[in-house]
Amino acid sequence: MGRRKVEIKRIESKSSQQVTFCKRRNGLIEKARQLSVLCESSVAILMVSSTGKLYSSSFGDSMAKIIKRYEIQHAAALKNMDLAEKSRNYLSHKELLEIVKCKLDEANLDDASVESLIYLEGQFKAALSVTRARKTELMWELVKNLEEKEKLLREENHILVSQLAKMEKKRLPETEDEGAMSSVNSYGNSPPKTLPLLK
Protein backbone atom coordinates (compact mmCIF):
# COMPACT_ATOMS: atom_id res chain seq x y z
CA MET A 1 0.00 0.00 0.00
CA GLY A 2 2.09 2.75 -1.32
CA ARG A 3 3.24 4.08 -4.63
CA ARG A 4 4.23 0.62 -5.59
CA LYS A 5 4.12 -2.89 -4.31
CA VAL A 6 6.96 -3.95 -2.07
CA GLU A 7 8.14 -7.50 -1.62
CA ILE A 8 8.34 -8.63 1.95
CA LYS A 9 12.05 -9.15 2.21
CA ARG A 10 14.92 -7.44 3.89
CA ILE A 11 15.29 -3.79 2.93
CA GLU A 12 18.89 -3.34 1.88
CA SER A 13 19.23 0.37 2.40
CA LYS A 14 19.75 1.00 6.07
CA SER A 15 18.16 4.40 5.91
CA SER A 16 15.08 3.15 4.10
CA GLN A 17 14.92 0.32 6.57
CA GLN A 18 15.01 2.82 9.37
CA VAL A 19 12.23 4.89 7.85
CA THR A 20 10.10 1.87 7.17
CA PHE A 21 10.71 0.55 10.67
CA CYS A 22 9.50 3.79 12.14
CA LYS A 23 6.41 4.00 9.96
CA ARG A 24 5.36 0.41 10.29
CA ARG A 25 6.15 0.35 13.99
CA ASN A 26 3.68 3.17 14.51
CA GLY A 27 1.21 1.43 12.29
CA LEU A 28 1.50 -1.76 14.25
CA ILE A 29 1.01 0.02 17.54
CA GLU A 30 -2.08 1.80 16.24
CA LYS A 31 -3.50 -1.49 15.01
CA ALA A 32 -2.88 -3.02 18.39
CA ARG A 33 -4.64 -0.15 20.09
CA GLN A 34 -7.63 -0.48 17.83
CA LEU A 35 -7.86 -4.21 18.38
CA SER A 36 -7.76 -3.67 22.10
CA VAL A 37 -10.51 -1.05 22.04
CA LEU A 38 -12.78 -2.69 19.48
CA CYS A 39 -12.63 -6.13 21.03
CA GLU A 40 -12.12 -5.39 24.72
CA SER A 41 -8.87 -7.28 24.69
CA SER A 42 -5.35 -6.80 25.93
CA VAL A 43 -2.52 -6.51 23.48
CA ALA A 44 1.18 -6.23 24.09
CA ILE A 45 3.81 -5.57 21.46
CA LEU A 46 7.55 -5.78 21.85
CA MET A 47 9.84 -4.74 19.03
CA VAL A 48 13.59 -4.82 18.85
CA SER A 49 15.05 -2.82 15.96
CA SER A 50 18.03 -4.01 13.95
CA THR A 51 20.13 -1.60 15.97
CA GLY A 52 18.99 -3.32 19.16
CA LYS A 53 16.69 -0.67 20.45
CA LEU A 54 13.59 -1.89 22.25
CA TYR A 55 10.09 -0.55 21.73
CA SER A 56 7.13 -1.76 23.66
CA SER A 57 3.54 -0.88 24.15
CA SER A 58 0.51 -2.47 25.62
CA PHE A 59 -3.19 -1.84 25.64
CA GLY A 60 -5.85 -3.11 27.96
CA ASP A 61 -3.78 -4.56 30.74
CA SER A 62 -0.26 -3.60 31.67
CA MET A 63 2.71 -5.09 29.92
CA ALA A 64 3.71 -6.87 33.12
CA LYS A 65 0.33 -8.46 33.51
CA ILE A 66 0.12 -9.59 29.91
CA ILE A 67 3.58 -11.08 30.03
CA LYS A 68 2.79 -12.79 33.29
CA ARG A 69 -0.28 -14.20 31.70
CA TYR A 70 1.81 -15.54 28.87
CA GLU A 71 4.30 -17.11 31.19
CA ILE A 72 1.68 -18.76 33.33
CA GLN A 73 0.14 -20.28 30.26
CA HIS A 74 3.48 -21.29 28.94
CA ALA A 75 4.59 -22.93 32.14
CA ALA A 76 1.24 -24.58 32.72
CA ALA A 77 2.47 -27.87 31.41
CA LEU A 78 5.21 -27.98 33.99
CA LYS A 79 3.48 -26.56 37.00
CA ASN A 80 1.92 -29.74 38.28
CA MET A 81 5.12 -31.68 38.45
CA ASP A 82 6.67 -32.24 41.79
CA LEU A 83 9.62 -29.99 42.17
CA ALA A 84 11.73 -32.32 44.22
CA GLU A 85 11.14 -35.14 41.86
CA LYS A 86 12.04 -33.01 38.88
CA SER A 87 15.14 -31.98 40.73
CA ARG A 88 16.17 -35.52 41.32
CA ASN A 89 15.68 -36.20 37.66
CA TYR A 90 18.22 -33.59 36.74
CA LEU A 91 16.01 -30.81 35.54
CA SER A 92 17.73 -28.28 33.37
CA HIS A 93 18.09 -24.75 34.59
CA LYS A 94 15.56 -23.63 32.07
CA GLU A 95 12.90 -26.10 33.07
CA LEU A 96 13.45 -25.46 36.72
CA LEU A 97 13.20 -21.77 36.05
CA GLU A 98 9.89 -22.27 34.33
CA ILE A 99 8.49 -24.12 37.29
CA VAL A 100 9.75 -21.59 39.73
CA LYS A 101 8.36 -18.69 37.77
CA CYS A 102 5.06 -20.42 37.56
CA LYS A 103 4.93 -21.05 41.28
CA LEU A 104 5.85 -17.48 41.96
CA ASP A 105 3.12 -16.26 39.70
CA GLU A 106 0.62 -18.52 41.34
CA ALA A 107 1.58 -17.19 44.70
CA ASN A 108 1.45 -13.65 43.47
CA LEU A 109 -1.46 -13.09 41.16
CA ASP A 110 -2.68 -10.04 42.97
CA ASP A 111 0.60 -8.19 42.84
CA ALA A 112 0.75 -7.73 46.57
CA SER A 113 3.40 -5.33 47.67
CA VAL A 114 6.55 -6.73 49.12
CA GLU A 115 9.40 -5.43 51.13
CA SER A 116 12.05 -8.02 50.75
CA LEU A 117 13.12 -11.15 49.13
CA ILE A 118 12.53 -12.97 52.37
CA TYR A 119 8.89 -12.11 52.15
CA LEU A 120 8.77 -13.46 48.64
CA GLU A 121 10.49 -16.59 49.78
CA GLY A 122 7.95 -16.95 52.54
CA GLN A 123 5.08 -16.54 50.13
CA PHE A 124 6.61 -19.09 47.95
CA LYS A 125 7.16 -21.60 50.67
CA ALA A 126 3.66 -21.09 51.93
CA ALA A 127 2.19 -21.68 48.53
CA LEU A 128 4.29 -24.75 48.08
CA SER A 129 3.41 -26.27 51.40
CA VAL A 130 -0.35 -26.04 51.38
CA THR A 131 -0.89 -29.53 50.08
CA ARG A 132 1.91 -30.96 52.11
CA ALA A 133 0.63 -29.27 55.22
CA ARG A 134 -2.68 -31.03 54.78
CA LYS A 135 -0.91 -34.33 54.40
CA THR A 136 1.09 -33.70 57.52
CA GLU A 137 -2.03 -32.76 59.37
CA LEU A 138 -3.74 -36.00 58.45
CA MET A 139 -0.70 -37.93 59.46
CA TRP A 140 -0.61 -36.27 62.82
CA GLU A 141 -4.21 -37.23 63.36
CA LEU A 142 -3.33 -40.80 62.60
CA VAL A 143 -0.41 -40.71 64.98
CA LYS A 144 -2.47 -39.22 67.76
CA ASN A 145 -5.15 -41.83 67.27
CA LEU A 146 -2.62 -44.58 67.49
CA GLU A 147 -1.06 -43.12 70.57
CA GLU A 148 -4.43 -42.93 72.22
CA LYS A 149 -5.10 -46.55 71.38
CA GLU A 150 -1.74 -47.50 72.78
CA LYS A 151 -2.48 -45.74 76.03
CA LEU A 152 -5.83 -47.46 76.39
CA LEU A 153 -4.35 -50.83 75.62
CA ARG A 154 -1.65 -50.33 78.20
CA GLU A 155 -4.27 -49.45 80.78
CA GLU A 156 -6.25 -52.51 79.90
CA ASN A 157 -3.16 -54.63 80.15
CA HIS A 158 -2.29 -53.17 83.48
CA ILE A 159 -5.72 -53.99 84.83
CA LEU A 160 -5.57 -57.52 83.54
CA VAL A 161 -2.16 -58.06 85.08
CA SER A 162 -3.44 -56.79 88.37
CA GLN A 163 -6.36 -59.13 88.31
CA LEU A 164 -4.14 -62.07 87.51
CA ALA A 165 -1.84 -61.19 90.36
CA LYS A 166 -4.72 -61.00 92.78
CA MET A 167 -6.03 -64.39 91.75
CA GLU A 168 -2.57 -65.87 92.03
CA LYS A 169 -2.31 -64.57 95.55
CA LYS A 170 -5.63 -66.04 96.47
CA ARG A 171 -4.55 -69.43 95.25
CA LEU A 172 -1.02 -69.23 96.65
CA PRO A 173 -1.22 -66.78 99.54
CA GLU A 174 2.40 -67.48 100.62
CA THR A 175 3.90 -66.04 97.51
CA GLU A 176 5.72 -62.82 98.03
CA ASP A 177 6.68 -62.46 94.45
CA GLU A 178 6.09 -59.01 93.13
CA GLY A 179 8.23 -57.23 90.57
CA ALA A 180 7.00 -55.39 87.59
CA MET A 181 3.50 -56.61 88.00
CA SER A 182 2.97 -55.40 91.48
CA SER A 183 -0.51 -54.15 91.13
CA VAL A 184 -1.69 -50.84 92.36
CA ASN A 185 -5.40 -50.75 92.22
CA SER A 186 -7.86 -53.58 92.50
CA TYR A 187 -11.08 -54.17 90.74
CA GLY A 188 -14.11 -56.25 91.44
CA ASN A 189 -13.52 -59.95 91.30
CA SER A 190 -15.35 -60.69 88.11
CA PRO A 191 -12.88 -60.68 85.29
CA PRO A 192 -13.76 -58.13 82.68
CA LYS A 193 -14.82 -59.84 79.54
CA THR A 194 -13.77 -56.97 77.40
CA LEU A 195 -12.78 -53.56 78.43
CA PRO A 196 -14.77 -50.96 76.52
CA LEU A 197 -11.75 -49.39 75.08
CA LEU A 198 -11.29 -49.98 71.43
CA LYS A 199 -13.87 -49.13 68.85
| Residues in contact with DNA by the rule CB under 7 A | 1-6, 15-16, 18, 20, 23-24, 26-28, 30-31, 34
Residue 26 C-beta: closest distance to its own copies, Å: 11
Q: Which is nearer to DNA, 18 or 183 (CB)?
A: 18
Burial class (CB in 10 A: 0-12, 13-18, 19+), 44: buried
Q: Which is nearer to DNA, 9 or 171 (CB)?
A: 9
Residues 10 to 69 in contact with its own copies, rule: CB under 8 A: 10-11, 17-18, 20-21, 24-25, 27-28, 31-35, 37-50, 54, 56, 60-61, 63-64, 66-69
Q: Which does 104 bind (CB under 5 to 8 A by kind): DNA, its own copies, none?
A: its own copies
Residues 59, 37 contacting (CB under 8 angstroms): yes
Within a 13 Å sphere around the CA of 158, how many CA atoms are in the beta-carbon half?
Answer: 11
Residues 161 to 180 in contact with its own copies, rule: CB under 8 A: 161, 163-165, 167-168, 170-171, 179-180
Residues 102, 71 contacting (CB under 8 angstroms): yes
Residue 37 C-beta: closest distance to DNA, Å: 11
Rounded Cα gap, residues 117 and 115, in angstroms: 7
| From 9, 80, 186, 199, residue interacting with its own copies (rule: CB under 8 A) | 9
> Hey, which residues does 54 pair with through a beta bridge?
48
Question: By C-alpha distance, which of 42, 103, 104 is closest to 67?
Answer: 42
Rounded Cα gap, residues 69 and 109, in angstroms: 10
Residues 187, 162 contacting (CB under 8 angstroms): yes
Confirm or reject binding of residue 184 to its own copies (CB under 8 A).
no
Q: Which does 32 bind (CB under 5 to 8 A by kind): DNA, its own copies, none?
A: its own copies
